[in-house]
């Protein structure tokens, strides 16, 4: 396999949070826990422990999305890279950047690979994956943007060549529909005529497969779900008892999405001194911690189109469980 020349390799980082991470967490927690139906954004679950738990989830037999998306990439990465001519890969929510290697390998094989830009809220994941990738791909330039892809995409460095912006893992499913449409519009605004979006979406399937994926028999998904309470305890001095909450993962067929919650086992009162809040949970009351929307080809194509993007290629697995969509600005 061809590799870029070692002399070009370099790593750079930008921490876009600039110390405001805590303020945002505080605001979001205050906002989410004072609503009639309590809700917390999933991104806060990904501290170092949460990221490590997520990596374990990806290895679970029940959690089909990761291995299915990987199998699609194994088959289609070469074709995707040939269709885009990309010399730069930008990955949103890159995490440990495991599947990313398949795209980087294809770019190296096509002799176009120049730069990888990793964007993730988890500082450790960005720094560790950047170090690994510069070792594995001598000469590769890696830029790590530590920040929130909902707030900090204006901090992406200017493109150095045709760019492939990848949003893998079905993470797009975590957005509520209106925010998702807004987000796709923001992404469309980042793409020049020579750029592409590679979007990973989990597809609608039977309830049992979906619910098992989010509620595995080893209890790792449950542990991951409760991790957000530990993050709030640490960051806001709160006294959540994670054991007091049961993990609930249900498929909401009407809205075609997984609905992940924490259910209070009994009535409880939680104090959050940093935001001067005392919050009460009734016995059985549920707190939503994540949604994960499931898609169809028609819905992906329609949402891309509404954002000014055109579906250029659709790659799926033999069961039609997961899809990778390649899209480009509709004007091209
Ligand atoms: C479901 S995991 C997917 C990880 C990896 N891309 C994959 O496909 O396996 C979601 C990743 O997105 C990151 N993430 C979640 N919300 C984010 C946000 N608002 N801004 C930046 N990163 C975010 C998490 O830290 C995590 O690494």
**pLDDT per position as a tens digit, 184-228:** 999 999 999 999 999 999 999 999 999 999 999 999 999 999 999
In the three-class reduction of DSSP (H, G, I as helix; E, B as strand; rest coil), residue 205 is classed as: coil
Residue 7's pLDDT is: 43
Q: Point out the ligand 1 atom lying closest to the alpha carbon of residue 93.
A: 12
Instruction: Return d(Cα 222, Cα 314) in angstroms, integer.
Output: 33
Span from the CA of 90 to the centroid of ligand 1 (angstroms): 13
Phi-psi region of 208 (alpha: psi -120 to 50; beta: other; left: phi over 0): alpha
Q: Point out the ligand 1 atom lying closest to the alpha carbon of residue 54.
A: 2
Nearest to 166 by CA among 121, 123, 116, 202: 116
Q: Point out the ligand 1 atom lying closest to the alpha carbon of residue 122.
A: 25
CA distances from 221 to 57, 247, 293 (A): 7, 8, 17
Nearest CA to ligand 1 atom 17: 43
Mean pLDDT of 92-104: 96
Residue 18's pLDDT is: 73
- CB 228, CB 40: distance < 8 Å: yes
Residue 3's pLDDT is: 44
Confidence bin at 331 (pLDDT 50/70/90): confident
Instruction: Return d(Cα 329, Cα 193) in angstroms, integer.
Output: 6
Whether residue 4 has pLDDT greater than 70: no
Q: Point out the ligand 1 atom lying closest to the alpha carbon of residue 150.
A: 19
Whether residue 149 has pLDDT greater than 90: yes
Residue 20's pLDDT is: 64
Nearest CA to ligand 1 atom 4: 95
- Provide residues with CB under 6 Å of ligand 1: 43, 46, 51, 54, 58, 66, 93-95, 99, 120-122, 125, 148-150, 168-169, 171
Span from the CA of 171 to the centroid of ligand 1 (angstroms): 6
Q: At what angle do helices 297-306 and 177-190 cross, to 10 degrees?
A: 60
Span from the CA of 98 to the centroid of ligand 1 (angstroms): 12
- CB 100, CB 166: distance < 8 Å: yes
Query: Which residue did the predictor score with more confidence, 26 or 17?
Result: 26
Q: Is the dihedral of CA 95, 17, 138, 4 positive or negative?
A: positive
Pairing relationship of beta strands 245-252 and 257-264 according to DSSP bridges: antiparallel
Nearest CA to ligand 1 atom 11: 93
Interval 246-295: pLDDT, tens: 999 999 999 999 999 999 999 999 999 999 999 999 999 999 999 999 99
Whether residue 1 has pLDDT greater than 70: no
Whether residue 332 has pLDDT greater than 90: no
Span from the CA of 291 to the centroid of ligand 1 (angstroms): 14
- Alpha carbon 243 to its chain centroid, in Å, reads 26
Ligand 1 pocket mutation pick from 120, 147, 172, 231 by most atoms within 8 angstroms of CB: 120
Residues paired with 3 in a beta bridge: none
CA distances from 32 to 25, 27, 29, 181, 187 (A): 10, 8, 5, 21, 26
Task: List the beta strands (DSSP E) in the chain.
Answer: 10-15, 88-92, 115-120, 141-146, 163-167, 196-202, 245-252, 257-264, 268-272, 277-281, 286-293, 309-316, 322-329
Residue 57's pLDDT is: 98
Whether residue 115 has pLDDT greater than 90: yes
Confidence bin at 6 (pLDDT 50/70/90): very low
Confidence bin at 21 (pLDDT 50/70/90): low
Six token digits for residue 217: 């028999």
pTM of the model: 0.95
């Amino acid at each position: 396999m061809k590799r870029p020349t070692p002399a070009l390799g370099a790593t750079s980082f930008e921490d876009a949070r600039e110390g405001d991470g805590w303020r945002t967490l505080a605001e979001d927690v205050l906002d989410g826990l004072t609503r009639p139906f309590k809700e917390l954004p999933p991104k806060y679950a990904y501290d170092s422990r949460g990221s490590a738990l997520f990596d374990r989830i990806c290895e679970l037999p029940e959690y089909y999305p990761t291995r299915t998306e990987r199998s699609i990439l194994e088959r289609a990465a070469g074709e995707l890279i040939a269709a885009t001519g990309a010399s730069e890969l930008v990955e949103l929510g890159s995490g440990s950047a495991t599947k990313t290697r398949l795209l980087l390998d294809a770019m190296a094989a096509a002799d176009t690979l120049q730069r990888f830009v990793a964007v993730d809220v988890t500082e450790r994941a960005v720094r560790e994956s950047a170090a690994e990738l510069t070792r594995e791909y001598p000469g590769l330039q890696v830029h790590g943007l530590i920040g929130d892809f909902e707030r900090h995409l204006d901090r992406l460095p200017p493109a150095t060549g045709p760019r492939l912006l990848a949003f893998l893992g079905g993470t797009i499913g975590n957005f509520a529909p209106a925010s998702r449409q807004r987000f796709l519009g923001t992404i469309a605004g980042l793409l020049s005529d020579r750029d592409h979006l590679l979007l990973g979406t989990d597809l609608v399937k039977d309830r049992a497969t979906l619910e098992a994926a989010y509620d595995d028999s080893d209890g790792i998904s449950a542990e991951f779900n409760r991790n957000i309470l530990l993050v709030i305890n640490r960051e806001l001095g709160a006294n959540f008892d994670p054991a007091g909450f049961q993990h609930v993962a249900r498929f909401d067929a009407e809205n075609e999405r997984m609905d992940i919650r924490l259910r209070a086992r009994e009535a409880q009162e939680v104090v959050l001194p940093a935001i001067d809040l005392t919050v009460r949970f009734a016995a059985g009351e549920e707190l939503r911690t994540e949604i994960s929307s499931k898609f169809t080809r028609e819905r992906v194509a329609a949402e891309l189109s509404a954002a000014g993007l055109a579906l250029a290629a659709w790659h799926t697995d033999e069961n039609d469980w997961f899809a990778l969509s390649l899209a480009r600005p509709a004007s091209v």
